[in-house]
A and B are shown apart, each in its own frame.
Chain A
Amino acid sequence: MVIFNFVKKNIRRTPYQALTATMAMFLAFLAFSSFLLLALGSQKVLRFYESKPQTIAFFKDGTKNEDIQAIQDALNSTGRVTKFKYVSKEEALEIYRERNKNNPMLLELVTANILPASLEISALTPDDLKPIAEVLRKEPVVEEVVFPEDVVAQLAQATKFIRTIGGSIVGFLITFSTIIIVMIIGFKIRLKREEIETMKLMGASTWFIRMPFIIEGIIYALIGAIIGWLANYFMIWYFEPILVDGNNLFYFEISQILLPVSPIFMLELLMAQVVVAILVGGLGSLLAVRRYLHL
C-alpha cells in the first residue's frame, strides 16, 4: 500500500511524462494487437481453405441430371473426392438473396434463370483440387471451374508477409517503448536523487526504494496495453458491418470465417497484452533502476 502511494505521487508529480509514456505504450500495443489480430485472422482463413479443399463447377444452361451424375461417377472413380453438393439455380438464387437481403436493387435485377447451377466437390486434400479441376474442365457441360489453389497460395504469402513485417514493426515498437520507459523512469530517479538519499539514511531497503519505480513503469505499459486493446475492439465493432456486407464476395467469405470475433478470444488477447505489458514495463523500469539507481 505504501509503495502504491509512492507510485501515485510519482505519477501525479510529473503528469506530462506519465502521459508521454502511456501514449507511447498505447501506440506500441495498438500495433501489437492489430498485427496479432491480422496474423491470427489470416492464419485462420488459410487453415479454413486448406482444411476444406473444394472445387466448384458451374454448369451451362440445360445441363441434364444424367450429365451431372456421370461427372460425379467419373470423379468418384479417382478416389480424390469426399463429398458432392449440388446447388440448383433456385438454390443459387436463395443464396444470392440471403447475401444481398439489404440491397433491394440487386434483388430486383436477378432471377433464377441467370444464375448457373453448380456442383461443389470437396476433395480429400488441397493437392487433389487440381486433378479434379482438370477432369471437370474436359466436360462439355461445365461452363467454369473455380478452385482456391491460387487463393491458398496468396493467403500463405500474405500470412508470411504479415508475420514478418508485423513482427518487425511490433518488435521495433516494443523496443522503442522499453527505451521510453527507461528514459522516463531514469529521469524520475535523477529528479528524486535527494529523496532517495534521505530514504536510504532512514533505513529503507533497496526494494522499498526500487519497487515504486518498477511498478510505475508497469502501470504505464498496462494502461497503454488496455487502451490499445480497447481501440482494437472498437475498430472490430466499427468494421464488422462493412465486412459482413454481401456486396463484396471476398469480404463476405472472409467475414463468414472470422466473424463474429469471440469475446473469449478478445479476452485472451487482452491477457496476452497484459503479460507483454508487465514484461515491457517491468524490464524497462528494471533497466532504468539498475542504470540510474545506485543503492
Chain B
Amino acid sequence: MISFKNVAKKFGPSIIALEDINLEIQEGEFVFLVGPSGAGKSTLLRLLSREYLPTSGKVLVAGEDLAKIKSSQIPLYRRKIGFVFQDFKLLEDRTVFENVALSLQVRGIIDHEIDKEVEKTLKLFEIWERRNLFPRQLSGGEAQRTAIARAVIGKPKVVLADEPTGDLDPQTAWSVIQLLGEINSWGTTVVMATHNKEIVDTQKRRVVSLKEGKIIKDNKEGKYEIH
C-alpha cells in the first residue's frame, strides 16, 4: 500500500530530515512511528501527504509515485487520505457538523447525501449531540473525535495521524486510540506518529522507530524504543 524506496529528504544543503528510508506498509496495517523530536516522523507523514517531495528516492502509495502526480491531481490524491493532527485543525467558524461535512463538500457530493453521511458518522463517533457547537465549545476529546470523523467520512484508504493524542489527557487519549483501532478494523491503513510510550507498548502493533532521520527499528509487535 505504502512504499518508501531509498528516500532522503534534505532542507537546504546541510539539514538532513530523512535518509535512506526503506519502508513497506501493507493495506490494512496499523503502524506507529516513534522517535524523539526531530527524528523525521512528521517529515515522513508530509511526504505521504505530498506536502513535500523527496530529495531522492521514491514514495509510492497504491503503486502511484507521488512525485509524478501533477499539481492539478494532488487534491484527488489527498481525498484518498485522511489526516488527523495534534491541534485538531478544525475550522473555528464552522460547527462540528459543518467541519465534518466540509470533507464531503470538497469532493463535490450533493447536500442531501452529505447530510445523511454526516449524521451517520457523527452518531458513530458519539458527537451527534454536539453537532451545532463550534470547536471552541468542545472538550479536547470531542474536538479530536470531530477531527477523526472529518478524516474518515470520505472513506480514505489511509489515515495519517500526527501526534493525535499529544494534547489530550490519558483517558481521552485512550478513547482516540480505540477509535483509530476501530477505523483500522474496517480495513483502513493507519500510520500514527506518537510520543505516547504507554499507548505504543500496550497496543502490540507494528512500531517503526526513527532517529536522526533514519529507521533504527521496525518490529511487528514492537515497543516504544527510541535508542
Q: Which residues of A does B touch, CB under 8 Å?
A: 1-2, 9, 13, 194-195, 197-206, 208
| Contact in complex: B78, A13 (CB < 8 Å) | no
How many B residues are at the interface, by size bracket?
Answer: 20 to 34
CA of A131 to CA of B121 in the docked complex: distance in angstroms?
92
SS of A interface (majority): helix
Please indicate the chain A residues that have their CB under 8 angstroms from the CB of B111 in the complex. 1
Partner of B102, one of A13, A197, A199: A199
| Contact in complex: B106, A9 (CB < 8 Å) | no
In the assembled complex, 22 residue pairs joining A and B whose CB atoms fall closer than 8 Å, in A order, are A1-B111, A9-B93, A195-B91, A195-B92, A197-B89, A199-B106, A200-B75, A200-B78, A201-B49, A201-B51, A202-B78, A202-B102, A203-B75, A203-B76, A203-B78, A203-B79, A203-B103, A203-B107, A204-B75, A205-B75, A206-B72, A208-B75
| Contact in complex: A204, B91 (CB < 8 Å) | no
A to B contact number (C-beta, < 8 Å): 43
| Contact in complex: B150, A202 (CB < 8 Å) | yes
A13-B93, A203-B107, A204-B75 known; 7 new pairs, CB 8 Å cut-off, are A2-B105, A199-B102, A199-B106, A201-B51, A201-B78, A203-B78, A204-B106
| Contact in complex: A202, B83 (CB < 8 Å) | yes
Mark B209-227 against chain A: 1 for CB-CB distance below 8 A, else 0.
0000000000000000000
Which 5 residue pairs spanning A and B have beta carbons closest together?
A203-B79, A203-B78, A204-B106, A198-B89, A2-B105
CA of A198 to CA of B82 in the docked complex: distance in angstroms?
11
Within 8 A of A (CB), among B79-107: 79, 83, 89, 91-94, 102-103, 105-107
Within 8 A of A (CB), among B100-154: 102-103, 105-107, 111, 150, 154
Least CB distance from A289 to B in Å reads 16
Partner of A203, one of B72, B92, B93, B106: B106
Which of B72, B76, B78, B105 has the most chain A CB atoms inside 10 A of its CB?
B105
Please indicate the chain B residues that have their CB under 8 angstroms from the CB of A202 in the complex. 78-79, 83, 102-103, 106, 150
